[in-house]
Structure 1
Amino acid sequence: MDKLRICASIKHPPFEFINEKGAIEGFNIDITKSIAKEMGFDVNIELLEWDDAIKKMERRECDAIQGMSISRERIEKYVFASEYITVFHSAIALIDRNDLNDLTDLNDYKVAVQENDGYELIKKIRSRGNNKSMLISTNHENNLRLLLSKEVDIVIGNKLTLLYYMDKLGIKGGFKLLGKPINITRYGIAFNKGNSNTAFKFKIGMDRIKANGVYESIYDKWFGQNIVYYGKQIIENVDTGVIYIDKLGRISAVNNFAEKLLHIDSKNLIFKSFYETEIANIFNINIIQGILDYYQDAYYGKIKINIDNIYYYLEVNYIKLLDKKNELMGVLINFKDITEKTKLEEFLIRKDKMESLGFLLLNVAHELRNPLTSIKNFTELMPEHIDEEEFRESLLYHIPKQVDYINKLVSNLLEYSKPKEAELTTINVKQFFDNELLSLFYKLIKAEKNITFCIDIAEEFSIIADPNQLKQVLINLIQNASDSIKESGIIKIYSSENKDTKVIAIEDDGEPIAESDLSKVFDPFFTTKPSGTGLGLFICYQLIKENNGNIEIANIQNGTKVSLIFNNKGEMQ
């Protein structure tokens, strides 16, 4: 039996390390031993400081080194057997560093890395002439201690190993991850040049243990990701797409429905990081990474994707999965095809718009005819009656009034016809009222009226909407509420929410709307105001629909209540 000398890192848990009993163990250890057993090799694995292990490899005092990240430079130097796991290299800082929320410029901070770890990243930092801001130590544990003592600002390393040592030191809650992963690192077993035959045999061995289930058993042992726990039979027989990504970001399961709908082959995805596959081009990688980094629990949204030049609409749920000990296991993405439903809705919306346009044009013609007829009549009478003082006074009173009405009507129609799409963003409604609206509200109220505003918006209450369009709607509604109050009254504005909806409510204690008119208030040109055009609420309705919301009006005991209703589950990505 051939004897192989293999070196590895002594402090690289859970991949390789020395346990409390003094024995070597870890994921990489089990993988190497399983391949050796499959292919008839006898291996002697020696754990060293990582830099010492690499030097020993360079002196050819060992035949191979396990747990080495695969890079372009290293491929030129070594011969790799198949990669066997993909991990993230991330940046972390102390949780109280409010100046550090994202990794923007490493030159501004002191950064600690492990020697010969994050190989490409270290090279990139050094190429900037940034040696002074970088501290290199022998392992991740030492770097964490440097961070605790504030000798460095940031530590960069293998995310899973850093989390392991945080737990060991009892300080996991004192750190935060900075932004997305810096590096997606593929680990493999590297052999010296000249050992190509052995490397090839190890590649065959890797394929075998993946095929016979040994690899999956080892993976489940160390990372607790046994998808059987969730029932492979169940996810294969549901009529929704299911993709399971474990806590290392590895795609662990893709069901038949997902394969067919997305035109993907699970054989090309399983065991790979989601960043390296077409999954990253379809689904929201920020949400997936946010769940993996403990920033987010779940998310619901709708997406539009292009597959073979055909557009599909999907309804997507991103769910955090926990094991029996309430520990993170990964992210479950489940989705369903709503293309036909969405196309039907779009057709009905277009149909409704065309019908509304026809109704609108008829009413525009009617509304314009009245003032134009009045102007025409005065014009025809002018030659005969222009010398009459009473006629001239009537002419000067009515003609400008009719022209103002036409101008107001046209202005409202132009506002409605502006082809501006809603630019949706998250709005903190309380701040929005404080900064954008309160002073405007008071300007809307006539000087002779005594109106009190009672505003009760929760501090953290937020919605997804277009700020300018929301402002336009609220100003219109406040003006209507003011107009319904004769001399004095109260306008209440408050927020409420449940698991499905968020609501901004506006109540007034003015004159209620006649019950027979409630069903007509959103119709174009319907108005009860002597000088109104009847387009205000019609435009409000259209704008709220553009913002994925709804508007309802109802009479209450002492007046009228208008509710702006928004979805509480998320919006289009």
Structure 2
Amino acid sequence: MKPFFSALLFFCLFIQPGWTADSQGSKGQKRIINIAADYNYPPYEFSDEAGNPAGYHVELSYAIAEVMGFDVNITMTDWESAYAGLFAGEYDILQGIAYSEERSKYIKYSSPHSIVNQSLFARKDGPKINDINEVNNHSIIVQRASIMHEYLQQFVPKAVIVPVPTHSDALRLLASGKHDFALTANLPSLYLSKELGLSNIEPIAAPVAAQRLGYGALTHNEDLVALFSEGLAILKNTGRQQEIYDKWLGTIGDSKAPWKKLGLYALYTILVLLLILGIIMVWNTLLRKEVEKRSRQLKAHQEQLIQADKMASLGVLVSGVAHEINNPTGLLMLNLPILQSAWEDALPILEQEAVNNPHFQLAGLPYQRIRDEIPFLLDEMQHSTDRIRNIVNDLKDFAREQPDEKHQTVDLNDTVTMAVRLVDKSIRDATDHFRLTLDPNKPCILGNPQRIEQVIINLILNACDALENKNCALAVSTFISLDKENAIMAVEDQGCGIQAENLPRLTDPFYTTKREMGGTGLGLSVSATIIKAHKGRLCFDSTPGQGTTATITFPLHQ
């Protein structure tokens, strides 16, 4: 695939520039963004009976355009044409593109709005396998230019790949008796199988991890990705995305997964998943109620800026939401170890049954496979629960009121020294050139030492993340301003730097450049809130490719 990417990139670099001005529209008009979508990928995106764009992704794009103040023109075509059209400059952005490391070299992604599982489909009377590696020397149908097409070419080169334009073509070809397997998205394939009456095929394996779908544009159109990411965040926080999701995906449950043979302990796993789903639904309900409440209050303050209103209402509502989520999260953290222990106690019984019955199955899959995967599923649920707890704690920090805190005299040198000591391992892992410089006059401020320490730790960890190798330097310093009015703390790194247009957004809630690594975008927002409560200022100075300096200024306490 590398020659294909190189050719498209060359075409994009030398043909594309003429498009940018056209997409802006004339002065006074809304910006029009051209989106390409797969016409045969229901219920996510497809052409309806009248030939109009429809589906979850389509309605999501229209909703984002509405809240962000631009227009979209959605073109329904086959995926290969949509993908090639992006590189050729025919389209500005794709609304349902799967993430991969190879694609990320050329494409900027928004945060994911969908997670799609991929499955191997086979005829009911055809060959059966348990793992993707077993398709070697078998003929396997796949959608041309899709993420699974790339996956097979890279990881299963011995498979006989049969590319076709759409999911419907793949399923029809398989059902007609041709070829051995089809590797397609699970939900769209089940949906199409039912619509087309293809009753002789079924999913037999889930060969790869779930794929994250989001908006994707070429790297020079990163501003478009930022627009869609911001719009998606607004829809999530107002509950609008969940309404659209429920409309298109919430009622699709008529799949024929073979759950009848689940035993008692497998049933416990389903109950836990239902509990998590219930928590999500409760969270969305509470969020909608809070948004309605804040909307009524905002009518009395129409003279304020719209963006300022959004941030203020968000800061108030998240504290209540975080509190409500904490209780069910604690229940999950209590029950998951019990469930894991129950599984371990049941293993001897299941092992004996597997000895007596070599074809013993759980959840419609061979027992040996379930035995290997259940521990991973339980671990994933535990890690997800821990992540919910951490996000809730960040939200609580972001929304915490500051005025009632008791302030005391804080030696800035001592606080910085303690913070450096706590993150010493992260510093040593990130750089071999660390320098700590403390003002001998011991600058003091009035404040909460724990909260100040939290801010310093956050800035140092962000600087460590920005360093590309251990030869890059990191420096932390304290000093008193020349006018003897302010105590100043600076964190300087020789990292990758930040683009000038992104500097004003660094302290916006939920804005992050590390979302793929688990970032929530709340760290700097919380830090800015703490500094403001201490009558201080936080500013950033950065040069891309050279580094960033974060400076905190506090009133000096005499």
TM bracket, shorter-chain basis: 0.3 to 0.5
Structure with bigger strand share is: 1
User: Normalising to structure 2: TM-score of the pair?
Assistant: 0.43
Structure with bigger helix share is: 2
User: Normalising to structure 1: TM-score of the pair?
Assistant: 0.42
Determine which structure has more spread, i.e. the larger CA radius of gyration. Answer: 1
